[in-house]
Amino acid sequence: MAQINKPTSDSPLVRLMVLETDKPHPDTASDRGSFGQIVHHHFSKAGEAHHPPLAVETDQVFVVTEQGGRMPKKEEFEGYHGLLITGSMFDAHGNNQWILDLLTLLKELWLSRPDFHFTGVCFGHQVLSRLLGGKVAPSASQDWELGHCEIELSSTGQRLFRTRDAKIHLHQMHQDQVTEKPTVKSAGGLLPDDAEIAVWGGSDHTPVQGLYIPNKLFTSQAHMAFDEDMVKRQIQMRVDNGGIQDLEHADKAAETAHLEHDGLEVAKAILRLFMYDDDGMGLAAIASASIGERDSAPYKKVVESITSSVESLDSAVQSYNGNDKGPVIDASDALVKSLDDGKTTIDGLDNLSASDAGPLSGVLMTLSSKSQTLTDDLKSKRGDVEKASECDAVRKALGDINTSAQALVDAAVSKIPKGLQTLAQGFVSQFTNSFKDTQEYFSTSNCINGGGGGNGTSSSTGGSGSSTTAGSTTSPTSGQTTASPSGKSGAYMLAPVWGLGAVMALFAVPLHRLNNCGQSLYEMVRRYCDVAPSDDCPMLHCYNTDNYDFVNQQCLAGNSVADSPNNRKQLRFCCRAHYSGFFKYLETCGRGRVNAGSGQNDYCA
């Protein structure tokens, strides 16, 4: 009988057929039900924890025909996104009739349903590998891998589980393993010639802990749904039937059964495969990286040139002691020229696509960091500026830089698909608003020539650039608000320049798979909201809104968001503040279409 868990009324529904290949310990069956029911419970929790929440519907069939089960027909899988094969006491390399029948069914589904997804746990992992020609056998040492175990992640695994950690931990219960992963050749026509078969993780005992084929398959040797009681009971069953003979090893494994594991993250990754195909993380995306690098090269050159000019200006600012403004003005003029040249270059470039900006992440983050340093250094020199009666010169330089930087941002926005341009302007405005803080810091009321002798007299700037009048501040762009000059730290003089990074970071996000907002976006959010990264909070992935209102209020007030265990738990992947509009649009996207509104299809490719 089908079981369904629906976290919200509009949650997208993942429909999963569970092929049960064993029965749990009698006590587990009494407490938790069959393996199919256990899978349903686990994936329901994963769906609730996912963002956006995913509803999960499962049905199950016990397929061990020699124990009274039945093998379903291909037609019974209509309407399902995919199947999951459970673990089993049987050998996946064996030739029991039901195993051969299962392989026949899997092959039929593989060939007849290009849209269908396959996942398996333990025995299921091994039998799917066998289907594709992989080798399955007992471990060379004949040892079992038991209990809470550490798995080294490959780069594919880190992407799938959305973590920068090198390891995850899962419960194990096996002696057999995949000794040779499948290949296109071994698959005997089931895979196209350009198919990629990735191993997402491995351990000393079992180098192939899981397989991943974009849009098609995700397997796990480990048991993602096992809890402490299940681990202990399953170990005891294996000891009682003579499968496990090393009792000391069994006892040590049972002692680890209470430890926390990452089974929920594995289930989330599988749900993403079923609902969103490869979630923008397939190896094909890596293969296309060189194309993105080539197409984004002119933009990268612009960013690098601006960064160099920012560094030169910062060096001049650091050396300034109130005696000679010449080097600072010259460096400021050079930055304005770099910004103007960048705008001219961007005006002549082709429009950006979603795949173009990934290679830009590194240089954009460098520009962001350098801009912040320049802002801090400039503000630290206000006393020297006042004593030298050069407040007007600084105001003029700030106005020139802001005018040219805003023009550059506008040019970059124009290269974005029309459906994203309004969104990008709003996104960038969060950064350009903070520019007003630095202008206020050097306004006529806050930077006084002569160190407090009134508004002071105008002095020659000696600079070139825009025609902003000395002694005035650039008027806020429409839709922006002027920030208070007090109570904030870390405002950015070059916020419009950083805004260029914000615009292009929209494309570092895999917009066609909108659950992963990317490292570039995380870095910008972290720096603006001053949220320290931690092991528990490695990346922003648009997860979990439980504490959103609190964080939004804190960030709008210019306060830090404490890096406390509770905040890490509630926010899970850090601060989403200031980007409610951006994320609102992201959250409307599902399976390649927009669920609400019109004219927004460019948000979801």
Torsion of the alpha carbons at 49, 54, 59 and 62, rounded to the nearest 10: -40
Q: Please, what is the Cα angle at 486 between 482 and 492, to 5 degrees?
A: 60
DSSP state of 534: B
Rounded to a whole number of angstroms, the CA Rg of the chain reads: 29
**31 membership: H or E segment, kind and range:** helix 26-32
Strand partners, 120: 85, 219
pLDDT in tens, 357-410: 445 555 666 776 777 788 888 889 999 999 999 999 999 988 888 888 888 888
pLDDT reported for residue 591: 27
Alpha helix stretches (DSSP H) within 557-594: 565-571, 580-587
Q: Pick the closest to residue 495 from 431, 452, 451 (CA basis).
A: 431
Query: pLDDT value at position 215?
Result: 85
Residues of the chain with pLDDT under 70: 1-2, 6-10, 277-296, 352-365, 368, 416-437, 452-605
Query: What gap in Å lies between CA 304 and CA 266, rounded to an integer?
Result: 39
- Which of 140, 3, 109, 12 lies closest to 587 in space, CA to CA? 12
Q: What local confidence, expressed as pLDDT, does residue 483 receive? A: 31
Say how far apart CA 3 and CA 361 lie, in whole Å.
Answer: 43
What is the β-pairing status of strands 3-5 and 55-62?
A: antiparallel
For every residue of 263-303, DSSP letters joined together read HHHHHHHHHHHHHHTTTT-SHHHHHTHHHHHHHHHHHHHHH
Give the number of C-alpha atoms closer than 13 A to the C-alpha of residue 390, restricted to the C-beta side: 25
Residue-wise pLDDT for 417-471, tens only, equals 554 555 455 545 544 555 566 778 888 999 999 874 433 333 333 333 333 333 3
- What pLDDT is recorded for position 494? 54
Residue-range domains of the chain with CATH: 3-284 (3.40.50.880), 289-603 (no CATH)
What 3-state DSSP class applies to 442?
coil
- DSSP H or E stretch at residue 119: strand 117-121
pTM: 0.51
